[in-house]
Each structure stands twice: as structure tokens, then as C-alpha cells.
Amino acid sequence: MTRVLIPEAAIQQRVRDLAAEINHTVAGSVDVLILLKGAWIFGADLVRSLARVNAVHFVKAKSYLGSATTPEKICWNWPEELTPHGKTLLILDDILDSGATIKEAKVLAQKAGFQQILSVVLMRKVRADLPLGEADFIGFDIPDLFVLGYGLDHDERYRTLPFIGVLTETLGGT
Ligand code: IMP
Ligand code: MG
């Protein structure tokens, strides 16, 4: 069972507001990089409210959770043909947890030749430890819980839910 954490209407409103914030703040046009799979729906919604988009790129990033002693490992499927259409890249991810994904994406984007790199996440988990990377634009700060829906999965399920939910088991069966 899932419990709604962020309702559909609140997501839609915040995505529009985020786009307005980005349109207002970022001078000139942007290339957009959508991190798959989790950010596919957020990306599809956000780009349609962005004013000046040169190109939309997609990269698959899969994180394998480490243990207390081994750090998280991220497997990138970075396409060779990802070449800048403009100077500025806006990286889009679903959620910032440890911050490792955003941090590595920024390094790879720099190597690909983008001069200015910005990032936006729909959610940021508020954790006890310091994040490894930060995003320039943040949709929602959320508690440190496993969330799903609106593109995010749990073992490939729940991606098509229109809201952000929490598995009730992670809430102790309530
Ligand atoms: P980070 O590298 O630790 O910041 O983790 C970011 C990535 O982990 C995101 O792009 C998600 O794919 C995944 N992730 C982190 N937390 C969650 C969650 O609560 N639900 C689903 N995916 C998550
Ligand atoms: Mg992801």
C-alpha cells in the first residue's frame, strides 16, 4: 500500500513554479539533460514550461547502494553523441539523496564540453549527513523516506502513479 506524500495537484503547481523560477533566473537558452529512469515524467512536464530549450538529452544513471564501508556506485550510460548545442546545461533529476548522482553528472557534463552547468531536482531528502552534491533548483524538501510514483520506482513498480507516495511498510504499517 502507498500513502500520498505529495498530491498530484501540488506537484503540477510546483513544477510550473520551478519552470518560472528557471526562466526568470537563467539568461539565454539551455540544453536539458534528463537522468533516466527516475526523472522521465518530471522532465517531460518541466521542459514543456521552460522558455528557451536548445536540445533535450537523456542519460541513464543507475545507483547501486553501497554498505557502511563501500560507497554508492553509479553506473552511467553516457552517450558518445551527447554534444552541447549551447553553452548552458540544466541537469534534471528526480531526487537528491546522497548527492552522488548530481555530483558525478556535473563532472561528466563538464567533460562533455558544457561551460555552465545548473541542476534541478523535484525532491531533496533532508538527511542527517551532509550531501555530496547540491542542486540549484529544488522542488520539495522531503523527509528521509523511500518515495515512489511520478517516475520513481520501487523495483520497477509504481512509476506511473501521478503523485509521490510512501510505502506504508516504511511507515511501520500505518
Ligand atoms: P543520490 O545519488 O544518493 O543523490 O541518489 C539519487 C538517485 O537515487 C535518484 O536519481 C534516484 O534514482 C535514487 N533514489 C534515491 N532515493 C530514492 C527514493 O526514495 N525512491 C526512489 N529512488 C530513489
Ligand atoms: Mg535516478
Distance in Å, CA 13 to ligand 1 centroid: 22
Instruction: Report which ligand 1 atom has the smallest distance to the Cα of 63.
Output: 8
The beta strand positions in the chain, using DSSP E, are 2-6, 30-36, 53-64, 73-77, 88-96, 116-126, 137-143, 147-148, 164-167
Which CATH architecture describes the domain 9-142?
3-Layer(aba) Sandwich (3.40)
pTM, 2 dp: 0.93
Report which protein residue has its CA nearest ligand 1's atom 19.
Answer: 146
pLDDT in tens, the chain (174 residues): 889 999 999 999 999 999 999 999 999 999 999 999 999 999 999 999 999 999 999 999 998 776 656 667 899 998 877 899 999 999 999 999 999 999 999 999 999 999 999 999 999 999 989 889 999 999 999 999 999 999 999 999 999 999 999 988 766 544
Active-site choice (31, 45, 94, 97) = 97
Q: Say if ligand 1 is within 6 A of residue 166 CB.
A: no
Rounded to whole angstroms, how far apart are CA atoms 166 and 145? 7
State yes or no: cis peptide before 37, omega within 30 of 0. Answer: yes
Domain map (residue ranges) of the chain? 9-142
104 lines ligand 1 (CB under 6 A): no
- Spatial separation of the C-alpha atoms in residues 58 and 77, rounded to whole Å: 9
In the three-class reduction of DSSP (H, G, I as helix; E, B as strand; rest coil), residue 107 is classed as helix
> Is 149 within 8 Å of 162 (Cβ atoms)?
yes
The Å distance, Cα 80 to ligand 1 centre, comes to: 25
103 CA closest ligand 1 atom index? 2
